Amino acid sequence: MQLYPNLILDALKTVRYPGSGKNIVDGQMVEDDIRIDGNKVSFSLIFDKPTDPFMKSLVKSAEAAIHNLISHDVEVDINVKTRQVAPPKIEKPLPGVKHIVGVSSGKGGVGKSTIAANLAVALAREGYKVGLLDADIFGPSVPKMFGVEDAELYMHNVDGRDLIIPIEKYGVKVLSIGFLVDRNAPVLWRGAMASNALKQLINDADWGDLDYFLIDMPPGTSDIHLTLVQTLPITGVVIVSTPQEVALADARKGIAMFTGDKVNVPILGMVENMAWFTPEKHPDERYYIFGNGGAVKVAQEMGVPLLAQIPVVGTICDSGDAGHPIALEDTITGQAFMHLAHEVIDAVQHREATLPPTTKVELKHK
């Protein structure tokens, strides 16, 4: 009997793939490589994955179809291949953002959100494009610090996607879970719900092009921190502490978490908040009411830079409560935050200098 490709294909059309119900020819499972040498026939069957449960039975069915419909004398050699499926394209989160900086603390009550808010404003005052994400799901305070507690969020369409429009004030784009929940009621969410909410504020918002994207992280160590470092390519983290020993002990744990194998995020440096008390009318006086230089010692001990020491002045609390960050003012504390901004810029540039040339981003003082 004379064998030819169409005769083989006609026989194979009687074989159906159980997964789809289509015959293997119309289902494009027979590769266009049929070879005939006398009474020998060879060809390839293509499967989507190497673990296809119907693979063995389909090979036997294809061989049986040729023997039953053409001739038992035909020698059949079937090669099995796996279809080369391109991996799904994963879009880079925050594609327009140059640097992502986390602001974290080992415990609550050390003024982490105050540092994050004022650092964002100070960077904006220097002419940089800045975004601030309030990731403190269970205690969002950034809306109050910016005086936008009653702001309503809107969405607009960007390239076919409906994206949240961040609230913009003092030159900073701000988003917080506080905009979406009752500010007088506690947020009773499990970890997965909180993580999903954060991912939405990151990925489903129109952050646009930013030089710095700051994240006010929750205090302590939790799965929220893991979500953030797994979702975003964080440039580095700023650790906030007071000079008190109880705060410093937790700061050490925070540094250990970020530098550990599971997280592995660089520490840009430490900020000692409430470093001393200075009366407004006596700027040269210092009263170390929470201890003297504790964060300085920890920074040296842990091998991380001390970025700034922020003094306690009565107006810093009043400014935060009034929605007017103290970094907007040319005061002792305002100048301290401008100094912090410069130190963070330098720390980020130092971090970028250690990366391979293809990943470096040039960002100069403006």
Contact 314, 277 (CB under 8 A): no
> What integer pLDDT is reported at residue 135 of this predicted model?
87
> What integer pLDDT is reported at residue 73 of this predicted model?
92
> What structural domains does the chain harbor?
5-82 (3.30.300.130), 97-359 (3.40.50.300)
Q: What is the pLDDT of residues 346-366, one digit of tens each?
A: 999 988 877 665 444 444 444
334 vs 119: CA distance, rounded Å: 10
Nearest to 41 by CA among 61, 60, 23, 66: 66
pTM for the model stands at: 0.70
Contact 219, 112 (CB under 8 A): yes
Quickly count: other Cβ atoms within 10 Å of residue 175's Cβ: 24
Residue 199's alpha-carbon distances to 89, 177, 180, in angstroms, are 18, 11, 14
> What integer pLDDT is reported at residue 178 of this predicted model?
84
Bridge partners (DSSP) of residue 273 are 310
> What integer pLDDT is reported at residue 365 of this predicted model?
47
> What integer pLDDT is reported at residue 190 of this predicted model?
67
Name residues of the chain where pLDDT drops below 50: 88, 90, 358-366
Residue 75's alpha-carbon distances to 44, 56, 69, 229, 262, in angstroms, are 14, 18, 13, 57, 56
